[in-house]
Amino acid sequence: MSEPDRNGIFAGEDPFEIARNWLAEATETEINDPNAVSLSTVDADGMPNVRVVLLKEIESNGFVIYTNYESVKANELDQSGRAAFVLHWKSLRRQIRVRGTVSREDGSQADEYYASRSLKSRLGAWASQQSRPLKSRGHLMAEVAKVTAKQGTNPKRPPFWGGYRIQPVEIEFWADGAFRLHDRFRWSRSSVEDKWRIDRLNP
């Protein structure tokens, strides 16, 4: 099959570079959180779950997010080893959809990102038992105060907090078109070691 006609915002031989370029554009136009993604997982019974999280890095072969390893999303990511997400930018009228396999980022890269966060966010990561029932807002703030007294002004990354790397087997770039005749290009591969196949899709 011949290569589909790709030019303009879709041009390029590296989907991760295209994604970085789109995100850079969105950073100039979106009012809040241009790196917000809707992350989809499934539980042990196959029931889907979706929530908005922040995409922190687009690597050469993956996308990285961070979370509490004891959260619902983390349990579902660990259980299935798969995830999907979508980046949607109203200002650009574009979106990127991703599906792939998941692995933890629990080393120096996670330490470095954790250290880059504000002190209050670092302490909050220690204090929050993410996804579990909470008595009250006051109880949470009391936990933050306890953690602050214990951890000080330079807390280390909690052992229950770190990253996940999503390595895609499918990436779709979508741009809004007149009369709902959108432009869609799907990059797909059987595994993360394989070469990409690119298809133009019907709107």
Q: Which residues are catalytic?
A: 180
Structure tokens of 194? 């394989």
Q: Which residues of 161-175 are buried (b: 16+ CB within 10 A; e: fewer)?
A: bbbbbbbbbbbbbbb
